[in-house]
Chains A and B, each alone.
Chain A
């Protein structure tokens, strides 16, 4: 049984002209990236525009690509930068100045998901997505990066251009708020 090519191998092959490698890479990351963008901007058309632009940047970077980090970190960093451009263009500057501190994080109450929502998965999803939309952009991005790209906190920090502690606090904030929206206080 052949070993499945890694993202980095595929990208390198594409850089040498292997179109099939790109297609495999695209199929592999297409849905997570699209969901990440859609849930960040909340609009399908905008998400598709950003999504297409993101992949075109990948295509155009094929010759310069070097394996310095995971492909996922690289491509989500591109997505993050594209989002920043989008936020700047739309006056959503709060994302850029929003910083959380460990002290604030420690004050957050622990929340347990309600028993009824554990049984009613559909309603739980609705409430989670609604709460996700209400999160600050940075916290939502951290949560989505963790869920969609399966990046570590360090990788999230690298992709978003912040320190690991900042990334960690954003993530914990996001989780706490989402849990709060889904249940009862523990």
Chain B
């Protein structure tokens, strides 16, 4: 059904002045339409980024954090795997020193030397090598020296400290020396000596490698001090190989005194006297037998 328009009426109606909406209404409508179309008509990439940006960023953060944590964990595990022996030795080093002390109070504790050096009962050490009596009347086993010397290298700074302490403490032991001199048993009853001090005392009396065992070189003490200084400077390893090993065969005080007596009996009084002076220098606290005083 089609209703024909009234053309005459239509013409009159179209002659009417056409009202228009205000400009602001046009602007509002067009602005709104563009705003909405702009939000909807963004490129796919931008829409994708807006939609997935936050989740992807969160996922990336979690991934990076997890990876870093894993790396740190693996690194720590790697360290554990590469240095288990060192750690174990370290742990033993912390535990072992207490044992000999419990058995034999006053026995020098070899400190860090103990874990690496073969464990040697102190009695054996004493039997194998005579006891050297230090200025403070402390007993020192030289059995530990030859084998343990190399292991003392990491503790060199501590030895240097000990040297300093010893230098400071030098006058004091001189007074206390007579009470303890020459008596092994008495020496073991001395008050506990700090580990560092013991570590220094462990240092062997150093003599020139070529020096004859029977006749101690006059410069032996000087050499020993030099060795101590070098040891403090970290040169112990070098010395151990060349000096410390022959030194292990050094004469004992008793042997030395026997040699002096022998010289006297042979009529070499001057040499015997010189040797005795040297002995006194070397062992100032040693109580000499009646015949040699």
Query: Which residues of A are in contact with B by a Cβ distance under 8 Å?
Result: 14, 16-19, 22-23, 26, 30-31, 34-35, 38, 44, 47-48, 51-52, 55-56, 59-60, 62-63, 113, 117, 121-122, 124-125, 128-129, 146-147, 152-154, 164, 168, 171-172, 175, 178-179, 182
B223 to chain A, nearest CB (A): 96
Partner of A171, one of B3, B18, B25, B29: B3
Whether B16 and A175, one on each chain, are in contact in the complex, defined by CB atoms closer than 8 angstroms, is no
Given the interface pairs A128-B9, A129-B16, the reply to whether A16 lies near B41 with Cβ below 8 Å is: yes
Contact of B1 among A51, A56, A122, A164 (CB under 8 A): A164
Q: Which residue of B lies closest to A147 (CB)?
A: B13
Are B22 and A26 within 8 A (Cβ)? no
Contact of B33 among A14, A113, A125, A153 (CB under 8 A): A14
State whether B19 touches A44 (Cβ < 8 A): yes
* B25–A153 touching, CB < 8 Å: no
* Known contacts A121-B15, A154-B1, A26 near B33 by CB under 8 Å: yes
State A94–B217 Cα separation when bound (angstroms): 140
Tell me the minimal C-beta distance from A110 to chain B in angstroms. Answer: 11
- Contact residues in A for B57 (Cβ distance below 8 Å): none
> Most chain-A Cβ atoms within 10 A of its Cβ — which of B12, B34, B41?
B12
Contact B9 A178 (CB under 8 A): yes
CA A48 – CA B29 in complex, angstroms? 11
> Contact at B9–A179, with CB atoms within 8 Å?
yes
Kindly provide the distance from the CB of B40 to the nearest chain A CB, expressed in whole angstroms.
Answer: 4
From residue A88, how far is it (CB to closest CB) to chain B in Å? 23
Q: How many A-B residue pairs have CB under 8 A?
A: 103
A148 to B85, CA, bound (A): 98
**B290 sits at the interface (CB 8 A):** no
B121 proximal to A (CB < 8 A): no
Chain B residues packing against A (C-beta within 8 Å): 1-3, 5-6, 8-10, 12-22, 25-26, 28-30, 32-34, 36-38, 40-42
B12 and A182 within 8 A (CB): yes
Bound Cα distance from A129 to B9, whole angstroms: 11
Contact B12 A121 (CB under 8 A): yes
| Residues A14 and B37 in contact, CB atoms below 8 Å apart | yes
Q: Are A26 and B30 in contact (CB under 8 A)?
A: yes
- In the complex, the answer to whether B21 meets A113 with C-beta atoms within 8 Å is no
Bound form: Cα–Cα A26–B25 in Å: 12
18 pairs, CB–CB < 8 Å, chain A vs chain B: A16-B40, A17-B40, A18-B41, A19-B38, A22-B30, A23-B30, A26-B29, A26-B33, A48-B22, A51-B25, A59-B29, A60-B36, A62-B37, A122-B15, A124-B12, A125-B12, A146-B5, A171-B3
A52→B3 contact, CB < 8 A = no
Give the distance in Å from the alpha carbon of A31 to the alpha carbon of B41 in the complex. 27
State the Cβ distance, B199 to closest chain A Cβ, in Å: 84
Q: Which residue of the partner chain B has the closest CB to A51?
A: B21
B30 touches A125 (CB 8 A): no
Measured CA separation A160–B32 after assembly (Å):
27
Interface centre among A19, A51, A152 (most CB of B within 10 A): A19
Smallest Cβ distance from B157 to chain A, in angstroms?
Answer: 76
Contact of A30 among B9, B26, B36 (CB under 8 A): B26
**A178 CA to B30 CA, complexed, in Å:** 36
Q: Which residues of chain A have C-beta atoms less than 8 A from B19's C-beta?
A: 34-35, 38, 44
Chain B residue contacts of A122, Cβ below 8 A: 15
> Is the pair A153, B21 in contact by a Cβ cutoff of 8 Å?
no
Q: Which residues of A contact B6 (CB under 8 A)?
A: 175, 178-179
**Complex-state Cα separation, A122 to B17, whole angstroms:** 10
The residue in chain B whose Cβ has the minimal distance to the Cβ of A171 is B3
B37 touches A17 (CB 8 A): yes
Residue in contact with A175 in the complex, picked from B1, B9, B26, CB distance below 8 Å: B9
Answer whether A19 and B9 are a contact pair too, CB < 8 Å, given A56-B32, A168-B1.
Answer: no
Complexed CA–CA distance, A59 and B29 (Å)? 9
Contact of B16 with A55 in the complex, beta carbons under 8 Å? no
Q: Tell me whether A23 and B12 are in contact in the complex, defined as CB-CB below 8 angstroms, given that A152-B2, A153-B3, A179-B6 are known contacts.
A: no
